[in-house]
Chains A and B, each alone.
Chain A
Amino acid sequence: IAGITQAPTSQILAAGRRMTLRCTQDMRHNAMYWYRQDLGLGLRLIHYSNTAGTTGKGEVPDGYSVSRANTDDFPLTLASAVPSQTSVYFCASSATISTDTQYFGPGTRLTVL
């Protein structure tokens, strides 16, 4: 069982470019999340999805968009990357939106120059 996979593992991106971070889970979890991790700030929620077809904004959504076309996939898109989006991005999932325990992917390290 893979759990949650993320791609790419790392990426260096020029400012202004568009980038999609991929996240796939095989646990048939309804709820999925995107966090960014920054030194000294911990993890902050970017967007979430209660179930396929629905998404919502988290604490720091600006500059990011998500979609949830099916249960397994939850891609995060940066339409026009900026250096302040340099971070480590983690995808997570939970059985339902009201289930406490979240399971995390290995992360994507993104550098925007």
Chain B
Amino acid sequence: GNSVTQMEGPVTLSEEAFLTINCTYTATGYPSLFWYVQYPGEGLQLLLKATKADDKGSNKGFEATYRKETTSFHLEKGSVQVSDSAVYFCALSDQGNYGGSQGNLIFGKGTKLSVKP
């Protein structure tokens, strides 16, 4: 079945460091790919998405490119801030595997990022 694998955390970085959180997926069909962010004590928020191969999603300085050839959707940011400390979830849409009747998101296990000043 479809699945998402992301790098295990926690990841601890100093402010202004470069961030990469790896995400790879297994899927049939052509899923959309997402990164969600969960700040402490809050629900998940959509950070960015890409709906087809070679699309680049971007938001708040974060970027991720949909790589079909490597089945990857790695999250990157050039210079992290303390306010980026959160848990990041990679996800794919599971549509099309249930006759279009279930808009399920398949999530990775999450990567906790801590940014130190």
- A-side residues, CB < 8 A to B, are 4, 31, 33, 40-45, 48, 50, 56, 58-59, 90, 92, 94, 96-107
CA distance A68 to B100 in the complex (A): 20
Contact present for A100 and B95 (CB under 8 Å) = yes
- B-side residues, CB < 8 A to A, are 32, 34, 36, 42-46, 49, 51, 89, 93, 95, 100-105, 107-110
Q: A42-B110, A98-B95 are in contact. Are A58 and B104 (CB under 8 A)?
A: yes
CA distance A58 to B94 in the complex (A): 11
Contact present for A104 and B104 (CB under 8 Å) = no
CA distance A81 to B45 in the complex (A): 29
CB-CB < 8 A to A102: which residues of B? 46, 103, 105
Across chains A and B, which 8 residue pairs bring their CB atoms closest together, nearest first? A104-B43, A42-B107, A104-B44, A42-B109, A97-B103, A100-B32, A43-B107, A106-B43
CA distance A94 to B99 in the complex (A): 18
- From B42, B49, B108, give the contact of A42 (CB < 8 A): B108
- From B45, B51, B100, give the contact of A98 (CB < 8 A): B100
Q: A101-B46, A106-B43 are in contact. Are A42 and B104 (CB under 8 A)?
A: no
CB-CB < 8 A to B107: which residues of A? 42-44
Which residue of B has the minimal Cβ distance to A95? B103
Q: A100-B32, A100-B34 are in contact. Are A106 and B42 (CB under 8 A)?
A: yes
Contact present for B108 and A104 (CB under 8 Å) = no
- From B45, B89, B103, give the contact of A31 (CB < 8 A): B103
Q: Chain A nearest CB: distance from B93 CB in Å?
A: 5
CB-CB < 8 A to A45: which residues of B? 104-105
